[in-house]
């Protein structure tokens, strides 16, 4: 039976193939079985697969196969999740493999792979397609499979297959994904508080990386003058690591926090306003071992002294300038023996008319 892999499926990344060359990019050879001369396998007769376990997380941009000398026809290459029958992640069709050389199947866009997770390179052709393999140096992270009798079987033990191949000659190439630093947010529990009153101060920390955990996360927050950690501090939250927030002091610190990919945690404590005014609180930049240094967080709160006298709203001059009448409010209520007088400041020409 000649097997032809299905062409592009919806949502799959498309593979661009080049014979005998290496695609441009800053990728790293991850998983591989390089023995290519022990024997050959005709991947045109049946669907063939090589499974592998990714050794690093990142973007898989290409896989390489070794084309053994022989009669060559176009082939199709697919990348599957978990194993040969897993979810299709990428496809290349009408590939012209190299004859007696390595050739690449490059992903555009690239496909994300996770360290420790299993994948399968699945390929086949409409006619003879010879690929190299080994019977003596097995690859520990996977195996070579053939599709026969409506099921995937190991080539070395498959029914009706006379081959000792344990693994095909293959290489996977992964570009390490850039790891972003953690993010931090800060918020007071109220916009304003009375002098010597308390409210909460909460910090929220997030790992923005969808595929990489972060360790050794830490930051420091020195509260502004007039704010201290309350007694008791009522500290609590969902974050691990080592948190310091001693009652009566103005320093909060965290060290050694670990967050899994896409994880978020929060913790907080109560703070007390000891002097009146607007308090601007800003943390240090947050850091982690893998993602480096991130940004800082800030939040404002107003501490109000309820006993403070309100500021004056205006002034009254005892004399006007240039001998003019005293400057008075537009309407001044003056109680004299039960009468209310309305004092108005008159212009000089108005005073002339009154003479």
Report pLDDT for 314. 53
Residue 244 vs residue 58, higher pLDDT: 244
Q: Report which listed range, 37-41, 63-67, 86-90, 253-257, is most confident.
A: 253-257
| Residue ranges of the chain assigned to CATH 2.60.40.680 | 183-304
CATH 2.60.40.680 fits 183-304, yes or no: yes
Query: Which residues have a Cβ under 8 Å from the Cβ of 133 and sit 6 or more positions away?
Result: 35, 36, 38, 39, 40, 41, 144, 155, 165, 166, 167, 168, 169
CATH 3.40.50.2300 fits 13-176, yes or no: no
Report pLDDT for 36. 73
Res 28 pLDDT > 50:
yes
Average pLDDT over residues 29-35: 92
Decide: residue 140, CB within 10 A, 0-12 exposed, 13-18 middle, 19+ buried: exposed
Q: What is the dihedral of CA 170, 175, 176, 180, to 10 degrees?
A: -150
Report pLDDT for 269. 98
Average pLDDT over residues 318-345: 42
Query: Which residues have a Cβ under 8 Å from the Cβ of 223 and sit 6 or more positions away?
Result: 229, 250, 251, 252, 271, 279, 281
Residue 18 vs residue 36, higher pLDDT: 36
Average pLDDT over residues 147-160: 88
Q: Encode pLDDT of 262-296 as tens digits.
A: 999 999 999 999 999 999 999 999 999 999 999 99
Of 59-63, 181-185, 261-265, the one with minimum mean pLDDT is: 59-63
| Residue ranges of the chain assigned to CATH 2.60.120.820 | 13-176
Report pLDDT for 85. 95
Q: Is the CB of residue 131 less than 8 Å from the CB of residue 70?
A: no
Report pLDDT for 37. 63
Q: Which two tokens stand for residue 218?
A: 């830490």
Report pLDDT for 340. 41
Report pLDDT for 212. 84
How far is C-alpha 32 from the chain's CA centre?
Answer: 29
The chain-wide mean pLDDT, for the chain, equals: 80
- φ, ψ at 319 (rounded to 5°): -140, 145
Report pLDDT for 43. 64
Res 348 pLDDT > 70:
no
Q: Encode pLDDT of 199-235 as tens digits.
A: 999 999 999 998 789 999 999 999 999 999 999 999 9
Report pLDDT for 45. 59
Res 86 pLDDT > 90:
yes
**pLDDT band, very low/low/confident/very high, at 198 (cuts 50, 70, 90):** very high
């Amino acid at each position: 039976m000649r097997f032809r892999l299905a062409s592009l499926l919806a949502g799959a990344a498309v593979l661009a193939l080049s014979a005998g060359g290496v695609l441009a990019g800053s990728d790293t050879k991850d998983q591989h079985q390089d023995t290519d001369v022990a024997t050959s396998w005709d991947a045109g007769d049946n669907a063939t697969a090589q499974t592998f376990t990714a050794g690093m997380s990142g973007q898989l941009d290409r896989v390489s196969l070794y084309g053994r000398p022989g009669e060559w026809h176009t082939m199709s290459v697919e990348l599957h999740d978990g194993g040969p029958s897993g979810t299709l992640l990428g496809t290349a069709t009408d590939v012209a493999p190299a004859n007696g050389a390595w050739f690449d199947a490059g992903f555009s866009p690239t496909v994300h792979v996770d360290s420790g997770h299993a994948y399968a390179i699945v390929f086949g052709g409409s006619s003879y397609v010879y690929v190299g393999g080994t019977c003596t140096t097995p690859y520990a992270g996977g195996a070579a499979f053939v599709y026969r009798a409506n099921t995937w079987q190991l080539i070395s033990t498959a029914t009706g297959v006379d081959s000792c191949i344990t693994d095909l000659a293959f290489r996977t190439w992964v570009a390490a994904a850039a790891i972003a630093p953690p993010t931090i947010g800060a918020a007071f529990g109220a916009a304003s508080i009375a002098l010597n009153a308390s409210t909460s101060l909460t910090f929220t920390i997030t790992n923005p990386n969808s595929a990489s955990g972060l360790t050794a996360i830490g930051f420091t927050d020195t509260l502004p003058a007039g704010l201290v950690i309350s007694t008791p501090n009522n500290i609590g939250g969902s974050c691990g690591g080592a948190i310091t927030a001693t009652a009566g002091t103005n320093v909060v610190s965290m060290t050694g926090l670990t967050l899994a990919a896409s994880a978020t945690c929060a913790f907080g404590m109560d703070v007390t306003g000891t002097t009146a005014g607007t308090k601007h609180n800003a943390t240090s930049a947050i850091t982690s071992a893998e993602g480096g240094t991130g940004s800082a967080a800030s939040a404002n709160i107003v501490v109000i002294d309820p006993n403070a006298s309100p500021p004056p709203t205006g002034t009254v001059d005892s004399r006007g300038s240039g001998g003019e009448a005293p400057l008075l409010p537009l309407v001044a209520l003056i109680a004299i023996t039960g009468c209310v007088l309305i004092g108005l400041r008159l212009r000089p020409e108005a005073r002339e008319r009154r003479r």
